[in-house]
Amino acid sequence: MVTGCRMLVQHEAILAGPSSGAVVYALKEALFHEIPDNSVCVVILHDRGERYMDTVYNDEWVAQHLNAGSL
């Protein structure tokens, strides 16, 4: 979830919530293993990230509450 959120911010300038981040990360993982080349994929980003600035987007909070590998 954290990785997906941060990928969206870094590559697309989209501040999304953790549910959206989890969907994006799952899609990224599936792209490398299950989805054929030249496929079209669609995801719905159903939450915004503003209210997660103190958690998902805060390095200190992530380090304290989640595995460091979640970044």
pTM over 0.85: no
In 1-71, which ranges are E strands? none
| 17-39 mean pLDDT | 89
pLDDT value at 11 more than 70:
yes
Burial class (CB in 10 A: 0-12, 13-18, 19+), 60: exposed
Q: Is the pLDDT of residue 70 over 70?
A: no
